[in-house]
Structure 1
Amino acid sequence: MSQQFQPPAPDSVTPAPGYPAAPAPKGNVVLGIVAAVVAAVAAAAAYGAIIGATEHEIGYAAVGVGILIGFAAGKLGGRNPLLPVVAAVLSLGSVYAGGLVGEAVMGSKQLPISTMELLTQHLDIVMKAWKADADAISLVFFAIGALAAFQTARKTAA
């Protein structure tokens, strides 16, 4: 009985001698988004702690929030054009959440209620306090954080 030639499966093709193998695809969009979400949560907590400790917003901290989120998205997600946009949106949410955490920290200093209790059981009060404290510079911090996230995700994409 003669054996018939069977070509290798498409995913196991080896390059011809003298030619390099095709580069493996870099980045994983889902991993980039997950990493950016984790970075956004951590950055919101840190930004909120800074606001609570200093009792005012700091623009450089908002830039740091954006850079952290953009770096996570770009490094792990690769060059997908969706990732800078996702990083910018997550930065907006993270700066906002950080502002709420900061308000809760400041409120817990004045009230006999913990920060976590303010955030979980009295979020409406925290949101009203944030809105009362928000001004034009707050919007600038949102924009700066989003721009930093967008640019960082684009520049660090592998």
Structure 2
Amino acid sequence: MSVVAATGVDNEYLAFTLGEEEYGIAILKVQEIRGYETVTRIANAPDFIKGVVNLRGIIVPIIDMRIKLNLGTPTYDQFTVVIILNLRGREVGMVVDSVSDVISLSPEQVRPAPEMGTAMNTDHLIGLGTLDQRMVILVDIDKLMSSTEMGLIEKIHA
């Protein structure tokens, strides 16, 4: 039995909010959580890439998830945080409205993402997690940061 299976870490998600919705990403992708700070803009970068920050000598691109997911105009306040992720060996920052907690979900608590037809791309959704009265949208962060966008991130690092 692997260490992950024995500890159940693979079923743990960091829950965060964007607008009125609660989302979750695999805790194993999360490196750290930081307060939102001013970023250095990159010319000609897409709107959702807010810019970059210097994190202990590493230049980290910062992506605003409200803009990325078309969830209205982002606001930045004392609750706004940046989740530093490790994706494919690269550090990427993800701006979210707030972080709530770490949740553990059993396979029975995860429902498949509903089919939305062509109206919405749901490839990046793992499913919907239910915990008591909460419903958490589980996101496959690797798929969300698609290879095209990771290519943009690569250009910033270059």
What is the TM-score of this pair, normalised by structure 1? 0.25
Which entry has the higher C-alpha Rg, 1 or 2?
Answer: 1
More strand by share: 2
Q: Which structure has the highest helix share of the two?
A: 1
TM-score normalised to structure 2 length:
0.25
Higher RCO structure (Cα 8 Å, ≥6 apart): 1
